[in-house]
C-alpha cells in the first residue's frame, strides 16, 4: 500500500480494503492519496492499460500549494482532474459516480461547490485539451498567436501548469504544460515594456496628489503602482503571476525581484508622499537591476525628474529600450502601454472568464 502522511495527530480511516493515515494533509496531498487509493484503482480495474492523466489542476489555493486551514471552508476537499481519451469521458464519469465510496480519509467524496450546488463527486473527467482550453480560453495544443498569448492571464496558466500531476500515461498533459512554460521572447519583451509604460503613466501623481493635500489619492495611486511593480517582478523572473489574493505571497518568493518587497512596504506604509515616492523609486531601481540580470536591455536609471516639478517619473528610455529590442513585426505593431488582458483590465469578471477575455 502506498505510504501516506503520518504524525502524532493521525487518525485511521478504513474502507473498501484500504487503510489510510492522515494528518491535516494539504489539498494536493489529499488529492494524490485519493487518486492512488481509490480513483486510480477503479479506473485501471475497468480499463486496464488506459492512457490517462491524473492531477490536481484548475481553481483552488491548493493548486498553487498555498492552501491552509482557512481554505477548507468551501470548495476544498476530494477534488481531482482525470484526463482521458475523448470517447471515454462519459463512461469514466458514470463508472466513478457508481463505484466511488461515500468518503475517504474523513472527507466526503460527494459535495456541492460554489459554482455547482449539486452534491456529486468532484473528479473532473475530461480530455487534456478540454481542461486547458476551459481555463485559458484558447487551445494550447495548437500554435498560439500573439493575440492568444495576450488574452491569457497568469492565473489561468497556473491553473493548468502549477498543480501536481499524479500520472500522465499519454503524455499530452505534459506537452501542454511545456508549451505554456513562458511567453515567446518578443511577447515577453512587449509585456515588460508595457509594465514600465504603466508605471510611467502615474508615478508623478504620487507626489502631485500629496502636494495638494490629497493623502488618500496619493496612497491609492501608490498602491496601484505597487501592484504593477509586483506584476513586473514576475515577468522579469519569467514566472506567471497569480491573481490578487496570492500576488504578494508569490512576489515575496521570487528569487531576485523579492528584494523590492521591503521598499514597496515602506511606500505603502509611509505617512507622507515624499517617503511614499522614495519607496516606489527604490523598488523600480531594484527591478531595473533584476532586468539587467535577465539579459533584457535596460535604461541606466529608470527614473528622472518629472519636468521641472518636484516629483520623479519613469524615463521614456525604460520603456523604449525594451520595445525597440522586439524583432517580430506583429509584436512591434502592438499599441504601446496596453499589453496583455491583465495589464489593461483589473475587472475580476473579465479576468476569470475566458470567453469574456477573448470576445
pLDDT at 22 over 80: no
Q: pLDDT tens-digit profile of 175-211? A: 999 999 999 999 999 999 999 999 999 999 999 999 9
Q: CA 309 to CA 206: how far, in whole Å?
A: 12
Strand ranges for the chain from DSSP E:
11-15, 18-22, 53-55, 79-83, 103-104, 107-108, 110-113, 116-126, 165-168, 303-305, 312-314
Is residue 236's pLDDT more than 60? yes
Residues 175 and 239 in one domain: no
The reply to whether 348 falls in a domain is no
What pLDDT sits at residue 359? Answer: 63
Q: Are residues 223 and 294 in the same domain?
A: yes
**Is pLDDT above 70 for 4?**
no
* One domain for residues 118 and 203: no
Residue 235 lies in a domain: yes
pLDDT in tens, 108-129: 999 999 999 999 999 999 999 9
Cell 519583451: give the residue. Answer: 189
Contact yes or no for 65/28 (Cβ under 8 A): yes
**Does residue 1 sit within a domain?**
no
Q: Are residues 245 and 308 in the same domain?
A: yes
pLDDT for res 74 = 86
Q: How confident is the model at residue 353 (pLDDT cuts 50, 70, 90)?
A: confident
Mean pLDDT of all residues in 236-258 = 97
Whether pLDDT at 294 is above 90: yes
Mean pLDDT of 247-254: 97
| One domain, residues 164 and 221 | no
Cβ-contact 84, 92 below 8 angstroms: yes
- Among 145, 179, 213, give the residue marking a domain's end: 179
Total domains in the fold of the chain: 2
Pair 24, 167 in one domain: yes
pLDDT, mean over the chain: 92
SS (H, E, C) 145-205: CHHHHHHCCHHHHHHHHCCCEEEECCCHHHHHHHHCCCCCHHHHHHHHHHHHHHHHHHHHH
pLDDT in tens, 104-113: 999 999 999 9
Confidence band (pLDDT; 50, 70, 90) for 355? confident
Do 145 and 247 lie in one domain? The reply is no
What are residue 113's phi and psi, to 5 degrees? -130, 175
Last residue of a domain, one of 154, 179, 204: 179
Do 117 and 215 share a domain, yes or no? no
Q: Do 227 and 175 lie in a common domain?
A: no
| pLDDT score recorded for residue 163 | 94
Q: What is the pLDDT of residue 134?
A: 95
Same domain, 167 and 201: no
Given this model, what pLDDT does residue 164 score? 95
Cβ count within 10 A of residue 274: 15
User: Can you give the pLDDT at residue 205?
Assistant: 98
CB 154 within 8 A of CB 241: yes
* Residue ranges making up the domain that contains 23: 11-179
pTM of the model: 0.90
For residues 317 and 285, state if they share a domain.
yes
Per-residue pLDDT reduced to its tens digit, 302-312:
999 999 999 99
Domain boundary among 153, 179, 205: 179
Q: Give the pLDDT confidence score for residue 138 in this predicted structure.
A: 96
Same domain assignment for residues 150 and 172: yes
In a domain, 356, yes or no: no
Q: What percent of the chain has pLDDT over 70?
A: 93
Residue 213 lies in a domain: yes
pLDDT at 15 over 50: no
Write out the three cell numbers for 143. 500554435
| Mean pLDDT across 213-229 | 98
Of 136, 142, 24, 34, which is closest to residue 81 (Cα–Cα)? 34
Amino acid at each position: 500500500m502506498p505510504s501516506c502522511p503520518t504524525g502524532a495527530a493521525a487518525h485511521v480511516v478504513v474502507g473498501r480494503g484500504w487503510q489510510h493515515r492522515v494528518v491535516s494533509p494539504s489539498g494536493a496531498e489529499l488529492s494524490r492519496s485519493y487518486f492512488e487509493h481509490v480513483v486510480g484503482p477503479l479506473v485501471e480495474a475497468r480499463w486496464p492499460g488506459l492512457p490517462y492523466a491524473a492531477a490536481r489542476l484548475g481553481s483552488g489555493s491548493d493548486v498553487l500549494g498555498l492552501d491552509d486551514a482557512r481554505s477548507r471552508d468551501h470548495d476544498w476537499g476530494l477534488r481531482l482532474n482525470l484526463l482521458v481519451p475523448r470517447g471515454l469521458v462519459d463512461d469514466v464519469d458514470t463508472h466513478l459516480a457508481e463505484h466511488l465510496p461515500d468518503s475517504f480519509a474523513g472527507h466526503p467524496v460527494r459535495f456541492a461547490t460554489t459554482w455547482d450546488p449539486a452534491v456529486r463527486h468532484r473528479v473532473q473527467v475530461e480530455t487534456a485539451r478540454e481542461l486547458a482550453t476551459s481555463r485559458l480560453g484558447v487551445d494550447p495544443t495548437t500554435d498560439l498567436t500573439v493575440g492568444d498569448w495576450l488574452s491569457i492571464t497568469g492565473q489561468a496558466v497556473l491553473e493548468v501548469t502549477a498543480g501536481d500531476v499524479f500520472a500522465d500515461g499519454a503524455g499530452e498533459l505534459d506537452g501542454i504544460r511545456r508549451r505554456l512554460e513562458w511567453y515567446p521572447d518578443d511577447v515577453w519583451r512587449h509585456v515588460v515594456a508595457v509594465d514600465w509604460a504603466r508605471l510611467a503613466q502615474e508615478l508623478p501623481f504620487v507626489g502631485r496628489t500629496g502636494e495638494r493635500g490629497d493623502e488618500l489619492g496619493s496612497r491609492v495611486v501608490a498602491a496601484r503602482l505597487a501592484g504593477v511593480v509586483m506584476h513586473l517582478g514576475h515577468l522579469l523572473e519569467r514566472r506567471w503571476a497569480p491573481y490578487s489574493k496570492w500576488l504578494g505571497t508569490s512576489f515575496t518568493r521570487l528569487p531576485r525581484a523579492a528584494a523590492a518587497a521591503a521598499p514597496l512596504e515602506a511606500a505603502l506604509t509611509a505617512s507622507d508622499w515624499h517617503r511614499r515616492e522614495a519607496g516606489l523609486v527604490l523598488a523600480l531601481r531594484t527591478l531595473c537591476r533584476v532586468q539587467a540580470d535577465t539579459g533584457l536591455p535596460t535604461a541606466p536609471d529608470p527614473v528622472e525628474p518629472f519636468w521641472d516639478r518636484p516629483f520623479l517619473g519613469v524615463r521614456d528610455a525604460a520603456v523604449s529600450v525594451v520595445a525597440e529590442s522586439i524583432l517580430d513585426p506583429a509584436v512591434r505593431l502592438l499599441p504601446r502601454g496596453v499589453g496583455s488582458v491583465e495589464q489593461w483590465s483589473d475587472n475580476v469578471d473579465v479576468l476569470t472568464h475566458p470567453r469574456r477575455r477573448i470576445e
